[in-house]
């Protein structure tokens, strides 16, 4: 029997319990258990004196089903496991023993809602359901543009179709029912281009190399922190979370123009950390929140680790197979700092993913995070270049992240290889049965994984695929790239033919075929062999699928990039 995530201890026996619906005997009213089909087989649910939060045990034998739990969240985790077991066969349930608890305390998923897709509330709830089934307990929404109705900035967002305070509060409550903490991620230094493009805010930006206001705030101007304070004031009341992710990554222009003299004199690391600590103080002292921040600048200036306050959470991030999670987690642990590990889905900048990279990146982060005492794990799904990747394609890394962060296996690489293979098999089976609704003998999830590995056929690059970069960065397609694109085109046409031969839920197949067609059409466009009608058909289908789960705003970004080559 496969279970995702795999319990820490699972002993399946050869005998079976003959079940006839379920009767809940519980020492506390948990409405989620009541959702199981009514009948006569007793599920006995009792609190136990366990030291570890979220710990639970399940025993199934001839007497029925016994569930013991440490706390309310543990009871919910037990329910999600039991729901999977019953879904395999609700009548003949194998005798088994499960002892389970998470490898990492906080297990989150970050969704970029600022650079293309602004998801609608219905889709966010659907995503929350899947996250809870995979035992995530945190969802972060990334904001750097006007995707929320910030109080005090109505003139900026009135035409952008933002999420409303009412919607966020409704989502917050929905998450709580599933033991998920909805966390705001509001960038507060770099990645502020939407804000600094506004006439009133532009003077707060560092001037870029092009002589225009950049995407990075000037940390020496009092107005920069005042702006962040006003943004927080207009955003945070919608969230009940005690955590605020302040971003702080990639302030690329720090040290240029207005900031050059002071940065040369005092050092970029010192300037960055001083501003970081002012934002940390704002979040913690005025708003009473635990701040977390991305650590790329701190690790460029590792001497600054000693200046990070102990109440902040360091977000150790890196998205490639070779990222040094082992070294960086060890350094953070030695400094006594609180930290999360933050791998990526490897979806952005790739179109259909970089699946092999994703698996190693996620498991590397989880294994080292657990080994060195990380407080949390955050799987990031960024929206670069208009966020064209389809949700059902991204669910493969989402499932891998849920599995690896709950049960990260062994830190020994020799053992980890076998555990990764076991994990991939289980995730494939899980997606086919519970997410894609695969009806054919052939696995749809397996095709999704291989669809996300076309990048192996081109020159490998950092944080994306060459075919995507050729489009987005307007790179000329030289003779070498033409050979690569011919290989990719043939490979993806074969994948597309496979998708035509399998069957799953209609909306699943529509998204997967469209995502595959994006790569096929793009390869043809870059090779100069495209058919205009084929392109228009793709753009129409892309928009139709976009509108099922997202606001209309942003739906034109990716098609317009492709049209720029036509």
Least confident of 414-418, 440-444, 525-529: 414-418
214 C-beta neighbours (distance < 10 Å), count: 24
Q: Which residue has the higher pLDDT, 35 or 339?
A: 339
Mean pLDDT score of the chain, rounded to an integer? Answer: 95
Q: Report how far residue 269's alpha carbon sits from residue 263's, in angstroms, rounded to the nearest whole number.
A: 8
pLDDT band at 466 (very low <50, low <70, confident <90, very high): confident
Q: Report how far residue 496's alpha carbon sits from residue 433's, in angstroms, rounded to the nearest whole number.
A: 21
Q: What is the pLDDT of residue 1?
A: 81
Kindly report, residue by residue over 515-544, the tens digit of the pLDDT. Answer: 999 999 999 998 989 999 999 999 999 999
Q: What is the pLDDT of residue 416?
A: 65
Kindly report, residue by residue over 67-83, the tens digit of the pLDDT. Answer: 999 999 999 999 999 99
Q: How many CA atoms lie within 13 A of 393 on its CB side?
A: 28
414: pLDDT strictly greater than 60: no
DSSP-derived 3-state class of residue 110 = strand
CA angle 391, 484, 519 (to 5 degrees): 25
409: pLDDT strictly greater than 90: no
Q: What is the pLDDT of residue 476?
A: 62
DSSP-derived 3-state class of residue 293 = strand
Q: Report how far residue 81's alpha carbon sits from residue 10's, in angstroms, rounded to the nearest whole number.
A: 11
pLDDT band at 390 (very low <50, low <70, confident <90, very high): very high
The set of long-range contacts for 193-198, using a CB threshold of 8 Å and a minimum separation of 24, is: 193/144, 193/145, 194/114, 194/144, 194/145, 194/146, 195/145, 195/156, 195/227, 195/231, 198/156
Closest CA to 117 of 454, 457, 550, 563: 550
Joined tokens for residue 110: 């970050």
Q: What is the pLDDT of residue 413?
A: 60
430 C-beta neighbours (distance < 10 Å), count: 23
CA angle 259, 204, 244 (to 5 degrees): 100
399: pLDDT strictly greater than 60: yes
pLDDT band at 481 (very low <50, low <70, confident <90, very high): confident
What distance separates the 2 farthest-apart alpha carbons in the chain? 77
pLDDT band at 417 (very low <50, low <70, confident <90, very high): low
Kindly report, residue by residue over 486-510, the tens digit of the pLDDT. Answer: 999 999 999 999 999 999 999 999 9
**H or E element in which residue 341 lies:** strand 338-342
What Rg do the C-alpha atoms of the chain give, in angstroms?
A: 24
Joined tokens for residue 555: 């739906």
Instruction: Count the residues in the chain.
Output: 566
Closest CA to 376 of 112, 194, 104: 104
Q: Report how far residue 253's alpha carbon sits from residue 73's, in angstroms, rounded to the nearest whole number.
A: 44
Q: What is the pLDDT of residue 412?
A: 64
Q: What is the pLDDT of residue 463?
A: 87
Closest CA to 296 of 404, 190, 141, 138: 190
Q: Report how far residue 70's alpha carbon sits from residue 50's, in angstroms, rounded to the nearest whole number.
A: 5
219: pLDDT strictly greater than 70: yes
DSSP-derived 3-state class of residue 94 = strand
Kindly report, residue by residue over 259-274, the tens digit of the pLDDT. Answer: 999 999 999 999 999 9
pTM of this prediction? 0.97
Strand 213-217 versus strand 56-61 pairing type = unpaired
Closest CA to 293 of 271, 304, 277: 277
Q: Report how far residue 111's alpha carbon sits from residue 109's, in angstroms, rounded to the nearest whole number.
A: 7
Q: What percent helix, strand, coil does the chain show, rounded to 5?
A: 50, 20, 35
Q: What is the pLDDT of residue 150?
A: 98
Q: Is-contact 124 395, C-beta < 8 A? A: no
What number is the average pLDDT over the span 157-171?
96
CA angle 302, 307, 309 (to 5 degrees): 125
Q: Report how far residue 276's alpha carbon sits from residue 289's, in angstroms, rounded to the nearest whole number.
A: 15
* Burial letters 532-565, b for 16+ CB under 10 A, else e: eeebeebbebbeebbeebbbebbbbbbbebbeee
Q: How many CA atoms lie within 13 A of 252 on its CB side?
A: 8
Q: What is the 3-state secondary structure (H, E, C) of 172-216?
A: HHHHHHCCCEEEEEECCCCCCHHHHCCCCCHHHEEECCCCCEEEE
pLDDT band at 459 (very low <50, low <70, confident <90, very high): confident
Q: How far apart are the first and last CA of the chain?
A: 50
Kindly report, residue by residue over 317-354, the tens digit of the pLDDT. Answer: 999 999 999 999 999 999 999 999 999 999 999 999 99
Kindly report, residue by residue over 93-133, the tens digit of the pLDDT. Answer: 999 999 999 999 999 999 999 999 999 999 999 999 999 99
């Amino acid at each position: 029997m496969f279970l995702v995530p795999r319990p820490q201890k699972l002993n399946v026996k050869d005998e079976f319990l003959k079940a006839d619906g379920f009767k809940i005997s519980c020492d506390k009213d948990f409405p989620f258990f009541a959702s199981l089909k009514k009948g006569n087989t007793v599920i006995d649910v009792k609190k136990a004196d366990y030291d570890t939060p979220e710990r639970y045990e399940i025993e199934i034998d001839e007497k029925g089903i016994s569930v013991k739990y440490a706390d309310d969240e543990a009871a919910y985790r037990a329910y999600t496991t039991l729901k999977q077991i019953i879904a395999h066969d609700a009548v003949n349930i194998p005798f088994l023993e499960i002892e389970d608890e998470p490898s990492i305390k906080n297990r989150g998923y970050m969704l970029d809602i600022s650079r293309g897709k602004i998801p609608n509330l219905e889709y966010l709830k659907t995503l929350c359901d899947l996250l809870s089934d995979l035992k995530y307990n945190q969802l972060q929404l990334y904001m750097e543009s006007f995707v929320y109705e910030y109080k005090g900035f109505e003139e900026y967002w009135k035409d952008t179709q933002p999420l409303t305070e009412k919607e966020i509060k409704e989502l917050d409550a929905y998450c709580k029912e599933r033991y998920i903490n909805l966390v705001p991620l509001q960038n507060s230094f770099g990645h502020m281009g939407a804000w600094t493009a506004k006439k009133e805010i532009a003077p707060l930006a560092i001037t870029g190399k092009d002589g225009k206001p950049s995407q990075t705030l000037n940390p020496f101007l009092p107005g920069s922190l005042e702006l962040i304070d006003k943004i927080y004031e207009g955003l945070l009341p919608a969230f009940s979370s005690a955590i605020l992710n302040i971003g702080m990554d990639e302030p690329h222009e720090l040290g240029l123009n207005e900031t050059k003299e002071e940065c040369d004199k005092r050092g970029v690391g010192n300037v960055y950390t001083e501003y970081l600590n002012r934002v940390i103080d704002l979040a913690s002292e005025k708003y009473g929140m635990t701040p977390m921040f991305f650590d790329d600048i701190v690790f460029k200036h590792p001497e600054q680790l000693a200046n990070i306050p102990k109440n902040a959470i360091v977000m150790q991030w890196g998205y490639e197979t070779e990222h040094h999670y082992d070294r960086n987690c060890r350094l953070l642990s030695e400094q006594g700092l609180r930290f999360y590990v933050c791998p990526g889905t490897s979806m952005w900048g790739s179109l259909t993913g970089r699946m092999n990279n994703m698996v190693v990146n996620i498991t590397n982060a989880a294994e080292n995070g657990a080994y060195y005492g990380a407080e949390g794990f955050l799987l990031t799904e960024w929206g670069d270049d208009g966020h064209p990747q389809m949700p059902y394609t991204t669910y493969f890394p989402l499932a891998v992240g849920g599995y690896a962060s709950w049960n990260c296996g062994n830190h020994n690489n020799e053992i980890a290889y076998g555990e990764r293979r076991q994990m991939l098999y289980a995730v494939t089976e899980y997606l086919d049965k519970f997410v894609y609704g695969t009806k054919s003998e052939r696995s749809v999830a397996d095709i999704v994984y291989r669809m996300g590995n076309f990048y192996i056929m081109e020159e490998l690059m950092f944080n994306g695929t060459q075919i995507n970069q050729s489009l987005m960065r307007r790179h000329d397609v030289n003779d070498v790239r033409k050979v690569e694109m011919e290989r990719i085109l043939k490979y993806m046409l074969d994948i597309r033919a496979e998708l035509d031969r399998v069957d799953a839920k209609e909306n699943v197949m529509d998204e997967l075929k469209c995502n595959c067609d994006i790569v096929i059409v793009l390869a043809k466009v870059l090779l100069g062999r495209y058919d205009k009608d084929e392109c228009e058909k793709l753009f129409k289908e892309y928009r139709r699928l976009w509108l099922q789960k997202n606001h209309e705003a942003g739906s034109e970004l990716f098609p317009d990039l492709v049209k720029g080559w036509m």
